[in-house]
Amino acid sequence: MTLYFDLPRTTPVTAEPSPWRDYEPSPRLVHAAVGSGFLAVLVLAAGVWSAVLGDVRAALACGLGVLLLGHLFGLLLSLWVRPHNTGDRMHITRTGAGTPGLTFAYSRRLYYWYAGFLTLLTVTQAAVAARTPPLLLGAALTGAALYVLLRHAPGRLTLTPDGIEHHGVRDRRFVPWQAVREIRPGEQARIPVIAVPAEPAGPTRARQSPFRASRALAIQTPWLAADPALVLQTLRWYHANPAHRFELSYQIAVDRVRQRAWFLH
């Protein structure tokens, strides 16, 4: 049992209900999402008409096109147009080092859209590469991207008493609390992020993909299965209250975050 009256007073951290209220998706991305959805409907109609006429090959090609465009539509919608999830899905799990911590899982829905689109695009390019050999290079590139995505899946963000471990889409990083300068909402490549600038000399650990990673930890909010505003507030609160970080290994942290008990000892 935790005796809250034995703990020091908490440092208040103002919760922002809409940290990304000024975020606006790129008009081009919105148009691309609408266009891919509209094209999917047209190709579906063409596939149905081909099936009615008995052209099986054309119907199958249209079916593949519908799947490809549909997954592109879902990916654009989830990643850029409507990037915020809701809810307070979290639990206590162990990190790779065996330390239990408060974990926010990545969205399985976004993994489905991303992996599905890359798979369909790779298969489509490989299928027509016999007639158009340059598409083999495109198939190799999208296949490599799919490999990197699945190699690091499933992603998660874990807060432990020692620091922040981010198991992202492209890399894995651990940043100790004492190396964190601040935690703020931001935007990266038109995608809302939680930015965690860390001291360059801090004892951070990273396991990176071939892609170069930024010095600052950036958590893309569309990938989080929980409300990103809640994740941001949780990070800020435990950063400002080191005496309470021991909670991150126990159910106490889950209860505090779900109840938004930021002012309780």
Tens digit of each residue's pLDDT (9 = 90 or more) over 216-263: 789 988 899 998 989 999 999 999 999 999 999 999 999 999 988 877
Global pTM value: 0.80
Better-predicted residue by pLDDT, 265 or 102: 102
Q: What is the pLDDT of residues 208-226, one digit of tens each?
A: 444 444 567 899 888 999 9
Confidence of residue 9 (pLDDT cuts 50, 70, 90): low
Going from the C-alpha of 91 to that of each of 48, 134, 192, 225, the distances in angstroms are 46, 47, 24, 12
Better-predicted residue by pLDDT, 241 or 132: 241
Confidence of residue 4 (pLDDT cuts 50, 70, 90): very low
Ranges assigned E (strand) in the chain: 91-94, 100-105, 156-159, 163-167, 172-176, 184-188, 191-196, 205-207, 217-220
Confidence of residue 78 (pLDDT cuts 50, 70, 90): confident
Q: What is the per-residue pLDDT for 18?
A: 73
Q: What is the per-residue pLDDT for 238?
A: 94
